[in-house]
A and B are shown apart, each in its own frame.
Chain A
Amino acid sequence: MLTREEAPRLDGDPALPAESARRLYRTMLTARLLDTEAVALQRQGVFPAYVSLRGQEAAQVGSAAAMDARRDFAFPTYREMAVALALGVDMAGYMASHRALWHGGLYDPMAARFAPVNAVVGGPVPHAVGWALGEKLAGRSGCAVSYFGDGASSEGDVHEAMNLAGVMGAPVVFVCQNNQWALSVPNERQIAGGSVAARAAGYGMPGVAVDGDDVAAVYTAVREALERARSGDGPSLVEALTYRAAPHSTSDDTSRYRDPDEERAWAERDPLPRARAALEAAGHADAAFFEQAEAECRAEAERIRDTVSAAPEPPGSDLFAHVYREPTEELARQRRVWQEEVA
């Protein structure tokens, strides 16, 4: 298991050439700015609610950047906005989920290789194992990446999925973003033994805990895990140690359960200044780069904000859309009732 000190660094990792390092930074920055816009949209009443990923940009962008977006497939929860961004998902379509236009989001999950937003904690983890097993059975080389939180690590579905992946040798990487909190419940009351990564041993797979606020460390660990999976050596678990800097959701009130000092202390580990400092230290970027990145990323975040804000609300008839591929007579009858009595 890598400790925080042993993890590779953005300024020293040969696997991360300057151009890649700059790209990771820009994706993280766009995610941060878009996240800030999304919180504002909720305040303005455009989004009924929003779940911020603030603080988890390095864990998400670093892990997603290690994927091969042409052949791998990500299985997110409800908080993986920066993974979506890094994988090139249509972000207005992604944000449509938060505007409550459609539960799973309005992007094409199969084309994007990013499954629909999923609000059942732990629920999507077995899906990733199945997808990975499908690749193996078909003799293809894709890998699945399964995202879940420290809270999710307590769910039976997650344990069943990890054991199954171990038994079947499924090419899947379990990425646990341990942001220290599951809503109001801290790690101490969630994870017996203190480590999600340590559990991997029990499922016959390697497990590493990495500094989840160091984008290069996350990138390197997930890349290694993906290489292992791709070469037929089965699943791995990467626990990215990070922090949920924002409330659980816009409906949450952290003052009821966590010390504001803890939130203030987070500023020290904020992955954005850290990535910036690493780029500067390596001589990969200068002031002009950061200025341009700020302007371009902001423009991109604002474009996504404006697009999702302007998206039309679904027509009422969408109630009946996609319930079945082969609609039933009875549902058609109920649609007529809706037409006559509600629409």
Chain B
Amino acid sequence: MSPTATDTPGAASAPAVPATMREALNRALDEALAEDPATLVFGEDVGRLGGVFRVTEGLQRRHGEHRVFDTPLAEAAIAGMSVGLAMNGWRPVPELQFDGFAYPAMDQIVNQIARMNYRSRGAAPMPVTVRIPSFGGIQAPEHHGESLEAVFAHVPGLKVAAPSDAPDAYRLLLQSVRCDDPVVFLEPKARYWDRSPSPAGAGPVEDAAVGTSRVVRPGRHATLVAWGAMVHRCLQAAEAAAEDGVELEVVDLRWLKPIDAAGLAESVGRTRRAVVVHEAPLTAGLGGEVSALITEGAFSRLAAPVQRVAGFDVVYPAGPLEPQYLPTVDRILFAVQRTFE
């Protein structure tokens, strides 16, 4: 686990990471395009429009239409062409416009991108970063609020990342693009515009090394584990608990594959209690995996069974019901309470 980072000396010379995740991701893509002429950014509406969330804004103008381009509306082809591009020396960073529309690309991601390195015995690596605006919280239409991390994490050959704040989104995305394995990069769209300062500060890119988690709030009574927008929700819960003298540690998992098992064991080894929180439905969600890793790594230290607070096993609901679907601060605190019973 990386230390709770503070602003590193020397970082002063580099321009500060932008305040919002949308801008931070934009900066990371800009730098990735600048540092490696093999990097390509493409997808639906990412060129001229700059993406529906404006994450790719200005990139086409700066790096040219041959390196940042709009594709036809065809997710299977967007993912599938990444395989051929990678086999021909390019470093594709395709965008799938929304979580729910990753499904039409699934065959190419699972059967092709994830396996080509294996199939070729390492001769054809897949340095592909599939960016997907993900998760809920913005009262969007159907298929615009899905959490697919467990689906991707289950696939051998894929790595999966999900940032929770602007500085870390910058680090994780650069790390992902530089990674020679395929990374599915899940961006919490509910956090794109948020300006609250990163609780962990802005550390160097190296701090995002694949598979490291980070403590975003230290505490000693129980550990909350989350990723994406739920990290913020957990910080709110920790804030509320602090008023009652309960000190909750919040671990931002960041890498959902590989998962930082050692980091989890270390934190829970200290706090002896754990609650894992995610937006995705409970059953077969990543919370089960996290719970198992904690149990395996810190069994003798655990004072109570690991608790899971997740979305319900229902179709992600339309607008007005969204707040009742997503884990609430109350549900997180109830779960913490259960670890003390």
Contact = CB atoms under 8 A, between A and B. Distances in A.
A42 interface: no
A226 B101 CA distance: 32
A121 interface: yes
Interface of A: 48-49, 78, 100-104, 119-123, 151-152, 154-157, 182-185, 189-191, 251, 256-257, 313-314, 316, 318-320, 323, 330-331, 334-335, 337-338, 341-343
Most buried by A among B100, B101, B140, B314: B314
Contacts of B141: 49, 78, 100, 103, 119
A251 B44 CA distance: 16
B104 A184 contact: no
Contact of B318 (A102, A157, A256): A102
B310 to A, nearest CB: 9
Interface of B: 44-45, 48-50, 52, 70, 72-77, 100-101, 104, 139-144, 282-283, 312-315, 317-321, 324-325, 328, 330-331, 334
Given A155-B104, A183-B49, A185-B73, A316 B313 contact: no
A334 B72 contact: no
Given A119-B141, A155-B104, A341 B320 contact: no
A100 B50 CA distance: 27
Contact of B331 (A120, A155, A342): A342
Contacts of A49: 140-141
Contacts of A251: 52
B143 A119 contact: yes
Contact of B314 (A102, A155, A183, A319): A319
B103 to A, nearest CB: 8
A157 B282 CA distance: 30
Contacts of B72: 151, 154, 185, 189-191
Given A319-B321, A334-B312, 6 more contacts: A49-B140, A120-B101, A316-B324, A323-B315, A341-B330, A343-B324
Given A154-B72, A189-B70, A338-B312, A313 B320 contact: yes
Contacts of B142: 103-104, 119
A156 B103 CA distance: 12
Nearest to B317: A319
B324 A338 contact: yes
Contacts of B324: 316, 319, 338, 342-343
Main secondary structure of the interface of A (DSSP, over half): loop
A16 B282 CA distance: 56
B313 A330 contact: yes
Contacts of B44: 182-183, 185
Contacts of B75: 155
B331 A151 contact: no
Contacts of B76: 156
A253 to B, nearest CB: 8
B170 to A, nearest CB: 24
Given A100-B139, A316-B324, A319-B324, A185 B70 contact: yes
Contacts of A100: 139, 141, 318-320
A330 B331 contact: no
A310 B67 CA distance: 49
A314 B319 CA distance: 10
A48 B73 contact: no
Nearest to A103: B142
Contacts of B334: 341
B45 A318 contact: no
